[in-house]
C-alpha cells in the first residue's frame, strides 16, 4: 500500500490523475497545461502514474507523437475515491473501533 502514498504525496499527482479520469484520451500537452503552473511536475507525475499502473498511454497508429492517456481500472478506483473524499462522501462506513455510537459524535 505504500506505493499509492508515495505517488499521491507528490506535487500535482492527484490533480493529474483526476484530470485524466475526467478527460480520458487527452493528449499530454492538454494535461500539463490544464493549470498555469507546475508543467514540469505534471509531466513527471504522468510518468509516475504510468509506472505505478494507475494510468496507461496509447499512441494512435502511425503518429507516435499523438499519445493519449487513460486511467487503468485501479487508477479509476483511486480517482473515484479521491473525488468522493473531496465531496465529503464516506467511502466505507466504519466505527474505527469505537466502543459505542457516541464515539462517532463530535463534541
Catalogue all structural domains in the chain, each as residue range(s) with its CATH number.
Answer: 2-82 (1.10.10.10)
Mean pLDDT of 29-44: 86
DSSP 35-77: SSS-HHHHHHHHHHHHHHTSEEEEEETTEEEEEEEEE-HHHHH
Cα 14 to Cα 16: distance, rounded to the nearest angstrom: 5
pLDDT confidence bin for 25, thresholds 50/70/90? very high
- CB neighbourhood size of 8 (10 A): 17
d(CA 64, CA 44): 19
pLDDT reported for residue 2: 58
What is the distance between the alpha carbons of residues 107 and 104, in angstroms, rounded to a whole number? 9
Instruction: Give 41-83 pLDDT, tens digit per residue.
Output: 999 999 999 999 999 999 876 666 688 999 999 999 999 999 9
- Of the listed ranges 6-20, 27-41, 89-103, the least confidently predicted one is 89-103
- 89 against 50, higher pLDDT: 50
- Whole-number pLDDT of residue 101: 57
Amino acid at each position: 500500500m505504500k506505493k499509492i502514498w508515495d505517488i499521491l504525496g507528490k506535487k500535482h499527482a492527484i490533480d493529474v490523475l483526476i484530470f485524466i479520469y475526467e478527460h480520458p484520451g487527452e493528449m499530454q500537452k492538454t494535461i500539463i497545461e490544464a493549470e498555469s503552473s507546475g508543467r514540469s511536475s505534471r509531466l513527471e507525475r504522468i510518468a509516475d502514474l504510468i509506472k505505478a499502473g494507475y494510468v496507461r498511454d496509447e499512441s494512435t497508429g502511425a503518429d507516435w507523437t499523438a499519445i493519449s492517456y487513460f486511467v487503468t481500472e485501479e487508477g479509476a478506483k483511486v480517482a473515484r475515491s479521491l473525488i468522493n473524499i473531496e465531496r465529503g462522501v464516506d467511502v466505507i462506513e466504519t466505527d474505527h473501533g469505537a466502543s459505542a455510537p457516541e464515539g462517532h459524535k463530535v463534541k
